[in-house]
Amino acid sequence: MSIVMTGGGTGGHLAIIRAVKEQLGANRNSSLIYIGSTHGQDRQWFEGDGDFAATYFLETRGVVNQGIVGKIASIGMLIKATGQTIRLLRKHRASVVFSVGGYSAAATAFAAKLLRIPLVIHEQNAVEGSLNRILKPFAHTFISSYDPASPIHDYPVKHVFFETARVRERVQTLLVMGGSQGAVALNDWVLHLAPRLQELGIRILHQAGERNIETVKEAYAVLGVEAEVFGFSDRIPELMVQADLAIARAGASTLWELVANGLPALFVPFPYAAGDHQYHNAKFLADQEMGWVMRQEALEDATLLALLDQDLHPISQRLIAAARPDGAREIAELLSTF
């Protein structure tokens, strides 16, 4: 028997898979199988990952935000991939399918329902994704940190973020998190503020995105400002613990990692996220006085500069109190019951 994990495309989805599969650990009665897509970041994260007995990457892509011809082609890929996953689920004798959503999950989730295999869904965002919304009525279990009816509320976050958590006081180091792909608007805004930040003695750690690293490094050099600039990094926990304040997008995994680490953040949601879900993720924290949110089109220097003078102790304490390192374990225990 096997536990099949599916979904991805973006790091936010894939981080859930990683956190849960690490909690499942080596001592289990079921093997782990991953089924993802050739598009997106699935291969980058899990190809060759020894925790999985097998990994498969199928030719699928998103259906939304495409023209008529693109939609037809994507649906054709989905139908073909669903047939492939039916064979894979049978081959590996799947006992349960764990889906985190995204276009990578569609074929495997549909195949699970056709084969009457229990489907467990994890929704990362405050606004449900289109696939998860469609499949929610058919899921054996639907998990969401934002849904009062969810049987599990703790978000699956790697233990390292809890282990290195600390209460922040004053801002000495600023972490800019535009994601592995970077965020040009955040890059430009922070570069604009960099001379002032240097005057205040604030160290800058800047995730500029793989495509923007050299441009941002050169811009800092022209300004005469020292900053550590990086793109994709597996050192995020190490960099995060050094920081006292973050400027970040509001993808769910990044948001909950910040919560777990007790790192206060000014969230600048990606304005084109489906259903504006990044804004609603950030608002969920801001409404509880556990963060700040500012629209990208309304970036204000004064807002950030005011935060640099704040005592961050109360908000950092609230963040640490709000997160428990049980989400991934609870999901892993649930999956092990099938």
Q: Are 172 and 201 in contact (CB under 8 A)?
A: yes
What mean pLDDT do residues 299-322 have? 93
The pLDDT value recorded for residue 71 is: 59
Three-state SS at 334:
helix
* Residue whose token pair is 């556990």: 290
What pLDDT sits at residue 181?
Answer: 59
Q: What is the pLDDT of residue 117?
A: 97
Tell me how crowded residue 288 is: count the other CB atoms within 10 A of its CB.
Answer: 12
pLDDT higher than 70, residue 127: yes
CB 188 within 8 A of CB 212: no
Q: Which pLDDT band holds residue 67 (cuts at 50, 70, 90)?
A: low
Kindly write down the DSSP assignment for every residue of 232-276, as one continuous string.
Answer: S-TTHHHHHHH-SEEEE---HHHHHHHHHHT--EEE---TTSGGG
Neighbouring CB atoms inside 10 A of 82's CB total: 18
> CATH 3.40.50.2000: which residues of the chain?
2-157+325-335, 160-322
Domain 2-157+325-335 class, CATH top level:
alpha beta
- Which ranges of 106-183 would DSSP assign to H, the alpha helix? 106-114, 130-135, 159-163
Length of the chain (residues): 338
CA distance 80 to 56: 14
Q: pTM (2 decimals)?
A: 0.83
**In the predicted structure, residue 11 carries a pLDDT above the cut 80:** no
Contact 89, 112 (CB under 8 A): yes
How confident is residue 70, by pLDDT bands cut at 50, 70 and 90?
low
**Where does 160-322 sit in CATH, by number?**
3.40.50.2000
pLDDT above 70: percentage of residues in the chain:
93
Which pLDDT band holds residue 6 (cuts at 50, 70, 90)?
very high
At 61 the pLDDT is: 67
Residue 18 pairs in a beta bridge with none
Convert the pLDDT of each residue in 72-86 to its tens digit.
Answer: 666 777 788 889 999
For residue 119, pLDDT over 70 is answered with yes
Give residue 312's pLDDT.
Answer: 96
- Looking at the DSSP bridge assignments, the partners of residue 58 are 37
Tokens found for residue 282: 């950030």
Q: Could you report the per-residue pLDDT of 254-309, keeping only the tens digit for each?
A: 999 999 999 999 999 998 888 899 999 999 999 999 999 999 999 999 999 999 99
For a pLDDT cut of 90, what percent of the chain falls above it? 58
Nearest CA-CA partner of 102 in 161, 15, 207 = 15
Instruction: Provide the mean pLDDT of the chain.
Output: 89
Of residues 115 and 69, the one with the higher pLDDT is 115
* Stretch among 67-76, 78-87, 228-237 having the lowest mean pLDDT: 67-76
* Pairing mode of beta strands 292-293, 173-177: unpaired
pLDDT band at 27 (very low <50, low <70, confident <90, very high): very low
Task: Compute the half-sphere exposure of residue 50: CA atoms within 13 Å on the CB side of its CA.
Answer: 1
Q: What is the pLDDT of residues 138-177, one digit of tens each?
A: 999 999 998 888 999 899 988 889 999 999 999 999 999 9
Residue-wise pLDDT for 33-58, tens only, equals 999 888 878 888 898 888 899 999 98
